[in-house]
Amino acid sequence: MSRAVDILYPAEADGTELPELIAAAQTAGQALLDVPLADRLSAFDTLSDQLLEGRLRQVPGIAFLAAFLRSTNLRTLIERELTFPDALRQFVPIGERKSARVLPQGLVAHWVAGNVPLLGMFSWALSAVVGNANVIRLSSKQEDVVSPLIELLAQSSAVGRQLAAATLLVCFDREHSDAHVQLSQAADVRIAWGGQEAIETIRALPCRWECEDIALGPRVSYAVIDPTVATDASINRLATDAVYFDQLACSSPQYLFLRDRGEQAEIEGFVERFTAAFERQAVAIPRHPLDFSESYQIELDRTRALLEGGRLARDSQTEWTIALVDRPNDEIRCANRFVQIIPFQRFETVYGCIPRNIQTIITLLGADEAEQFSEQAARRGVCRLPRPGEGNLFETPWDGVPLVARLTRWTLRSDNRR
């Protein structure tokens, strides 16, 4: 077990101690205060273009990141939470004799989920665009698709270089408690991505009392679809939502609740169209090779679905599975492209299946039903209700957390009477 801290970015920093590198990133972050938001947004626009052109475009999920980095998207997300984004540059009046200035929190430390390193780049970009310095910790060097990306940013423009200079990318074992503690104690914001154990471990690290925590923990997502509203295009987009990231993202739909008005042909027709789309997407989007345990799990889950009276559509290997079942089986893992379709006649059936760790329910219903369902779903803890094709689009708030607000701090000023 390695006890070293590998410095993945900046490359020339190898050999320097972690605290010094963190301090250097913080200093570079201070310099970002003088860079206008528009310039930072523009740097990410350039990076977005380059991601789609270069060798990184092969990385699964890179298209989502490129879309996320578009300046129009980032500006929309900032404005969603900050109705006066100019406060990121200067004091702006916000009401009777009051002005506000919104500043970055300082140093944001990101602990990225194992095996899905790209997820952390979404929180990094949002943090960087509002002016924070960032340290990203990966658990394995093999997962490093991140340093080429930051390298690209550094080469793209002068502001890109400044943003990259305020970013430190490191890799160390989970047992390297000294490095974890150093990072945690330096952080103004700690962002933890991943499973329950990882989140709890990070939150248990010592930190300053004023440090802000953002836990983007393990969650499940569903879809609720009315087959009469579904078009071929929306079904295709829904299949993409389930196939992307090998269904290992918290936003990946696992259960697909299908509105059943008693017309068997309607259900069968949808299942057939969805199966065709799912198979197409599963072939088009490469998947990581399953290990033995994952392969066994898929065979077991298929068996469980059948033993309980379900029906399967599947490939001849372990690429993808759709199980049509009467009721969802929580024992079935629903990972690596395994979806349970559950017809329902009353929305109460769906409400009863919403767990406390729900995140997203992709929704495609008629307008009235969508309105009713949204309200009831929100009351039961659902954080997002996107349309098909938007399931994996990272946005803020995420997991119900307004990220821009948590990545910034306010200075409030009383103004003179005019």
Partner 1 sequence: MCFRLTTILTWSVKLIEPFTTDVGPFAMAPEEKQAFLSERLAALVEHHHARCAPYARLVDDWRGRTTSGSFSVESCPYVPVTAFKNYDLRSTDESGTTLQSSATTSAVASKIFADKATKKRQALSANKILTDFVGSEKRPYLVFDLEATVRGAGAMSARAAAILGLAHLATEFLFVMREEKGQLRIDRDALEHAIEVIGDGPFLSYGFTYILYQAHRELAELGITLPRAHPDSRFLHSGGWKRLVALAVDKPTFNRTISEPWQLEPASVVDFYGVIEQAGVPYPDCSAGYKHAPYWAEVVIRQNDSMQPTKTGETGLIQLINCLPLSAPNHSVLTEDLGQIVLDDGCACGRRGKAFIFKGRAPRSETRGCSDVPRR
Fill in the DSSP letter of residue 386. P
Phi and psi based region of residue 301 (left: phi greater than 0; alpha: psi -120 to 50; beta: remaining): alpha
Min dist. Cβ of residue 143 to partner 1 (A): 11
DSSP three-state, residue 54: coil
For residues 49 and 308, which CB has a smaller minimum distance to partner 1 in the complex? Answer: 308
Min dist. Cβ of residue 317 to partner 1 (A): 5
For residues 33 and 63, which CB has a smaller minimum distance to partner 1 in the complex? Answer: 63
Are 413 and 101 a contacting pair, CB within 8 Å? yes
Concatenated DSSP letters for 281-347? HHHHS--PPP-HHHHHHHHHHHHHHHHTT-EEEE-SSSS-EEEE-SS--TTS---SSEEEEEEESSH
For residues 44 and 244, which CB has a smaller minimum distance to partner 1 in the complex? Answer: 244
Min dist. Cβ of residue 248 to partner 1 (A): 3
Beta pairing, strands 321-324 & 311-314:
antiparallel
Min dist. Cβ of residue 398 to partner 1 (A): 11
For residues 83 and 293, which CB has a smaller minimum distance to partner 1 in the complex? Answer: 293
Q: List CB contacts of 228: < 8 A, sequence separation 6 or more.
A: 259, 261, 266, 366
Min dist. Cβ of residue 21 to partner 1 (A): 27
Work out the burial of residue 353: count CB atoms within 10 Å of its CB; fewer than 13 is exposed, 13-18 middle, 19 or more buried: middle
Min dist. Cβ of residue 69 to partner 1 (A): 20
Which residues are near partner 1 by CB under 8 A?
113-116, 119, 193-198, 216-221, 245-250, 252, 254, 289-297, 299-300, 303-304, 306-309, 311-312, 314, 316-318, 328, 330-331, 333-335, 353, 355-358
For residues 127 and 247, which CB has a smaller minimum distance to partner 1 in the complex? Answer: 247
For residues 291 and 368, which CB has a smaller minimum distance to partner 1 in the complex? Answer: 291
Q: Which tokens hold the place of 219?
A: 């969650």
